[in-house]
Amino acid sequence: MAHYVVNGGKRLEGVVTIGGAKNAALPIITAAVLAGERCRIENLPAIDDVKILCKILQKMGASVEFTPDGGMNLDPRGIDPHRGVTFDMVSSLRASYYLLGALLGRYGYVELAQPGGCSIGQRPMDLHIKGMRALGAEVSMSRGKITAKADKLVGSDIYLDVVSVGATINIMLAAARAEGQTIISNAAKEPHVVDVANFLNMMGASIKGAGTDVIRINGRQKLRGCTYAIIPDQIEAGTYMIAAAATGGDVIISNVIPTHLEAISAKLMESGVRVVEGDDGKEFFIRVTADTRLRAVNIRTIPYPGFPTDLQQPMMALLTTAKGNSFIVENIFEDRFNHVAELERMGANIKLNGRTAIVEGVEQLYGAPIYASDLRAGAALIIAALMADGESEVHNIRYIDRGYEHLQEKLRALGADIVRVED
Ligand code: EPZ
């Protein structure tokens, strides 16, 4: 166990380089299982979720070799699908549910412990299962385990009742090796959905329309190994943009794809932050500057290209000291306000009413011992601690280690006074 000690009130200044996208890396590493050959994946984020997923694949028989340049070589040929994905694996990494589509697509068989809910909501998998059944798989659930098998997967038209990133990607994985065409309607359009589709196409799949709400997949008998680099992490980039604004700083966020950040940029500019996009000939960057007290803004989380639910919590931290009342509506997950009590202990003034949080701006937050309940709540608490007057201790940072690489180094390089202390 470890915690961060943060002395707040320092303006963040300088350049931070964004790593590979967690929510693209996890399904892409899993999708490599579909190849009958070795794959090389580059620009991986150095985060615990990637390490946990690779351990799960190794336990199932894959060979995984991390290389010093932040890449990895993965050979899926030793995988035995009958070495089921156990509950301790899935409870340590929810995204292991992508093995449902990958193992079904590659071997026609998968046993997967049903992932539980987590601190942001119930996280059902009904749409994932609806998709597998539509492709012809026999899916049964008993004693907390999902078993799916199919002698042959056949393409089908699948309508997603709710826009679901996980279900969209999982169905793409299985359909990539199904016979005939699959059409996914009401598909998720997140950048990481497009990244997974691009990776599958590099492997020889035929996927069109990723990034729109209708994705067409023509299945292929075989998929080959390839080398692929993960896109920059939209949520990590957005988190640093918000941290820069929240500390009245001046930060260049480098190695980003600006179109992925339009919703965050627009909201920050609406609150009075200066946001400038540019490129230095090598990489795109976004420069965020704030030197006056920010104005309250209203946030509604909706699927991409709307304001991402993963940045709702960091944005709320910033809005705790904006001038006026901000209304934040969390439309995606039913329980994503667990950071509110921690912010209130720092002096924030927030009222909850179902899926709406009303944030009444206060002059200042004050340092306190605070406890993260999930990954993005942890990011929100780090931002609050950076803004606060005095010292904070941010606990349960194992959640933060899952999704933010080299956090202490990146923040210290921007002038933050943050130290990791092993408990
Ligand atoms: C992915 O989760 C991300 N996780 C989440 O990021 C992100 O918040 C979420 O997409 C939304 O963008 C990964 O990519 C590993 P969903 P996922 O299926 O796929 C409902 C982070 O912090 N739903 O798009 O689980 C669901 O309850 C994490 O990086 C069903 O009803 O999210 C939710 O209300 C947190 N039935 C909505 O859809 C289903 O079968 C969106 O969930 C599946 C989902």
Structural domains in the chain plus CATH codes: 2-19+232-422 (3.65.10.10), 22-218 (3.65.10.10)
332 CB near ligand 1 (under 6 Å):
yes
pLDDT of residue 245: 98
Token representation of residue 397: 């940072």
Q: Please list, in sequence order, all residues whose beta carbon lies within 8 angstroms of the beta carbon of residue 383, skipping any fewer than 6 positions away.
A: 239, 242, 243, 246, 314, 317, 318
408 touches 420 (CB < 8 A): yes
165 CB near ligand 1 (under 6 Å):
yes
Token representation of residue 67: 């290389």
Q: Please give the number of the atom of ligand 1 that sits closest to the Cα of 333.
A: 34
Residue 212: Cβ within 10 Å count: 12
Q: Whose CA is nearest to atom 44 of ligand 1?
A: 164
274 touches 289 (CB < 8 A): yes
309 CB near ligand 1 (under 6 Å):
yes
The yes-or-no answer on residue 118 being catalytic is yes
Task: Provide the 3-class DSSP secondary structure of residue 70.
Answer: coil
pLDDT of residue 362: 98
95 touches 27 (CB < 8 A): yes
pLDDT of residue 86: 87
Using one digit for the tens of pLDDT, what is the confidence trace for 318-368?
A: 999 999 999 999 999 999 999 999 999 999 999 999 999 999 999 999 999
Q: Whose CA is nearest to atom 25 of ligand 1?
A: 166
pLDDT of residue 88: 86
pLDDT of residue 85: 85
Choose among 189, 136, 201: nearest CA to 160: 189
Cα distances (Å, whole numbers) of residue 48 to 5, 238, 335, 366, 405? 21, 20, 24, 30, 9
pLDDT of residue 197: 98
192 touches 23 (CB < 8 A): yes
Q: What is the chain's pLDDT, residue by residue, as a tens digit (423 residues)? A: 899 999 999 999 999 999 999 999 999 999 999 998 999 999 999 999 999 999 999 999 999 999 999 999 999 999 999 988 888 888 889 899 999 999 999 999 999 998 877 789 988 999 999 999 999 999 999 988 999 999 999 999 999 999 999 999 999 999 999 999 999 999 999 999 999 999 999 999 999 999 999 999 999 999 999 999 999 999 999 999 999 999 999 999 999 999 999 999 999 999 999 999 999 898 999 999 999 899 999 999 999 999 999 999 999 999 999 999 999 999 999 999 999 999 999 999 999 999 999 999 999 999 999 999 999 999 999 999 999 999 999 999 999 999 999 999 999 999 999 999 998
Report whether the peptide linkage leading into residue 305 is cis, meaning its omega lies within 30 degrees of zero: yes
Its pTM surpasses 0.95: yes
pLDDT of residue 92: 84
φ, ψ for residue 92, nearest 5 deg: -85, -20
pLDDT of residue 289: 98
